[in-house]
Amino acid sequence: MSGLRQEFIRFCVASRVLTFGEFKTKAGRLSPYFFNAGSFDHGGALGRLAEFYAKTIVASGVDFDMLFGPAYKGIGLAATTAVELARLGRDVPFAYNRKEAKDHGEGGVIVGRALAGRVLIIDDVISAGTSVRESVQLIRAAGANVAGVVIALDRMERGTGALSAVEEVNRLYGVPVISIASLADVLGFLDESADPALMRFRAAVADYRRDYGTTGG
C-alpha cells in the first residue's frame, strides 16, 4: 500500500465511513464491508477528505482545466477539492449540476463555471455508472471534453458482466478512472491491522473479492 492509500483507509475506518459487518448491496449480495461517503458529515472530515482528493489528483498527473461534481454528493466533493487544490497552488474553476433545470435567474442545469476544456469529474464511488454517464453527456453537450473521473474508493467488484463499474467506464469513454484507494488497499489494511475487532473480517473480505471481484480497477 502507498502511504497515502493506507492513510486514507485508516481515516475512513476512524470516521466510520468504512465499516465491517454484513450488508446487503443493491445487487442483492451480502458484503462484509460498507463504504458510505455521506458519513463525512462535518467540516473537519470533509476538509481532510478534500486533501486526499487533491493529493491523488496531483500525483496522478492527469491533465485537466476544471472540476465537475455530479449532484448530489459530487457537489461538496468538487467544491472542497477545488479549495484544497488552490491551497496547493493549482487554482481551477469548478461546476456542478442541478437535478432539475432552473427556469429563472441564470437558468439551466449547470451552476458555477461554464463547462469548457478538459473537465475532471469528482464523485464518491462508481456503482452502476449512471452518475458518470449523465456527467459525460452534460460535459460533451457543452462542447467540453472529459479528462477523467476521480473517486474515493474503487470497489473492484464485477457488475452484471465480467467487468467492474470502473472498468466499464474506462472502456465506454476511454478516460482514466483514478481512485484514492481500492478494495485491494482495504485488504492490505486488514492484513496490517493489529486490532482483533478488524482482523476477524479479513477472511470475509478476501472471500468476497474472490467471489465478486476483478483483478483490475
Give the pLDDT confidence of 148-161 residue by residue, as tens digits. 999 999 999 987 78
Q: How far apart are CA 180 and CA 39, in angstroms?
A: 17
Please, which residues have CB within 8 angstroms of residue 4's CB and are 6 or more apart in sequence? Answer: 52, 55, 56, 59, 180
Q: How far apart are CA 9 and CA 30, in angstroms?
A: 21
Structural domains in the chain plus CATH codes: 3-212 (3.40.50.2020)
For this structure, is 55 an active site residue?
A: no
- Sheet of strand 108-112: strand arrangement: 108-112, 94-102, 66-69, 118-122, 145-154, 177-182
Please, which residues have CB within 8 angstroms of residue 108's CB and are 6 or more apart in sequence? Answer: 98, 101, 102
Q: Which of 26, 42, 99, 104 is catalytic?
A: 104
Nearest to 120 by CA among 173, 163, 156: 173
Q: What is the mean pLDDT of residues 184-191?
A: 95
- Which range, 20-29, 129-138, 157-166, 173-182, has the best average confidence (pLDDT)? 173-182
Q: What is the mean pLDDT of residues 6-13?
A: 97
pLDDT at 138: 96
For this structure, is 104 an active site residue?
A: yes
pTM for the predicted model, two decimal places: 0.92
Give the pLDDT confidence of 59-112 residue by residue, as tens digits. 999 999 999 999 989 999 999 999 999 999 999 999 999 877 655 445 578 999
